[in-house]
Structure 1
């Protein structure tokens, strides 16, 4: 566990740990008091079982090809893992399946999603899961409260198609989300989604750290509760780290491809103005709603904290296209990625000049 540098921050962090211990104690009391909550009995449905294919960003699970509901088994583990936050420093993330964001889950409307959550966090911190796709108190979180080395199982019927956030909702929720405990759940409509050439999983999030590691021989930046409460992130990143999808690991497509991005904003505080420089979104399902008709021809998509969007575009010109939060100062905090398109355009007048391109030296958005 990476502790905070300032004495005030240490006191705040100790307060959080005390609060977590109090929650564990209170939960034990609630479990022993049958008059507080009625036990929700799990019911067996005559649905075939299917284990969910979980995909780590930027990959996406394969499309649903069946035309019937199943009991979808989703197995997730909480694991604390130190991961790179940029080229110089690391950060101790609280992860689902050792990745930030957590894996993307793909289901079909009508499925019964059975979630098994195992808490491998050895610090004693409690964790759970709040699915924005779940109808019921806490989005399922009260049924999945897990202490150290505990396993919890709960099941939920998925009644609305859409692209939904999931996250840990243990108090203080902002601490758990900003430590990496979030992901996306795609619930396909009963007739599925139209096939495209490329699908990608992308999540924006903030990370709040102290300016320096605790010791001179460490690369790990501790969390800053002060900055978190003031909503002053050091980093605003795509898929868990600064530079996750730059020249050495861009999103890729060919001229003529139809490309779909499943985009989430974990927050925990900022609104995203999602934009891809040099493209126009042909179709956008705002707020992740797949019940509504898509909006057409959008330049920038507002994605609130805790929400999502499905965006589609046609790759018609070769080159590097830059994904940003158009609250543009966030580029300097790491919120930039590249889509690399190869091939030849069918319409040379879409983008042409007698001279070749001459990007400005050191430019972060026009490589």
Structure 2
């Protein structure tokens, strides 16, 4: 087993999912705990104002800072710590998403999921055991040891897999904390019915999309209807990253749908021989 000391918003990686609507006024308060070793702040990409709020929230240990802002434009936006070196703070887990819905809201779905991709730069090689430590050298070289969904290698698998039922519609709010790598987000075994490219909620979504490109500090929203049961796999289609922890599962429960998908029976060498002999 391996552990890593993250810096976080509210002890979570990613930080809390913040939800608002256009026209809302949002109050932000950041308290930097007394045992913190660093200054911290928060830059909301949804903010129209200096530093996205980073200047107003730049807090030393034991300080509390805050600000308020009006949500002017709908979208799914990243937030992150912006204290220099910002990439250092982000790589240590200080990122999350804020959804600003249009005034009329988004079309309803049966289930929603919150997924973010990040990188972890450790001195130790991938798969090492024990307490892992950060490597600024690897961070500056943009050479992560781990790629992660929701803060840990293979985090969205097993008991933490995304779960849904046959016939449901689901929505994934997907973002890339980074700090450095672009994602080619793909769900193996599914097709996105709708993809809100770059998380623009006022632009018509693309239909029937296989893979979406999401840059660091960017996001996207995808909707899917679940027509066949089984396990779907969440990946970045830069697939070497799957071997460094970037894998998740979507488990769809329900009755088989042979009219839509049916696995062929395995053929043995003997059955092949008998088939040819009967000709």
Matched, 1:351 2:258: no
Partner Cα distance (2:254, 2:238) in 1 = 31
Q: Which has the higher contact order (CA 8 A, sep 6+)?
A: 2
TM-score with structure 2 setting the length: 0.92
Matched, 1:294 2:191: no
Query: What's the CA shift for 1:348?
Result: 2.1
Matched, 1:119 2:32: yes
Question: 1:125 and 1:299, CA in 2 relative to 1: closer, same or farther beyond 3 A?
Answer: same
Question: 1:139 and 1:253, CA in 2 relative to 1: closer, same or farther beyond 3 A?
Answer: same
Which segments of 5 or more consecutive residues in structure 1 lack a partner in the other structure? Answer: 1-87, 213-217, 357-367
Which residue of structure 2 lines up, in the alignment, with residue 4 of structure 1?
Answer: none
Partner Cα distance (1:310, 1:178) in 2 = 23
Secondary structure in 1 matching 2:199:
coil
Alignment map for 1:132-171 (pairs within 5 Å): 132-171=45-84
Matched, 1:251 2:162: yes
Query: What's the CA shift for 1:121?
Result: 5.3
Which residue of structure 2 lines up, in the alignment, with residue 175 of structure 1?
Answer: 88
Matched, 1:103 2:13: no
Partner Cα distance (2:259, 2:150) in 1 = 35
Which residue of structure 1 lines up, in the alignment, with residue 192 of structure 2?
Answer: 281
Which residue of structure 2 lines up, in the alignment, with residue 202 of structure 1?
Answer: 115
Question: 1:181 and 1:121, CA in 2 relative to 1: closer, same or farther beyond 3 A?
Answer: farther
Question: 1:123 and 1:105, CA in 2 relative to 1: closer, same or farther beyond 3 A?
Answer: closer
Secondary structure in 2 matching 1:97:
coil
Secondary structure in 2 matching 1:266:
strand
Query: What's the CA shift for 1:165?
Result: 0.2
Matched, 1:232 2:139: no
Which residue of structure 2 lines up, in the alignment, with residue 319 of structure 1?
Answer: 230
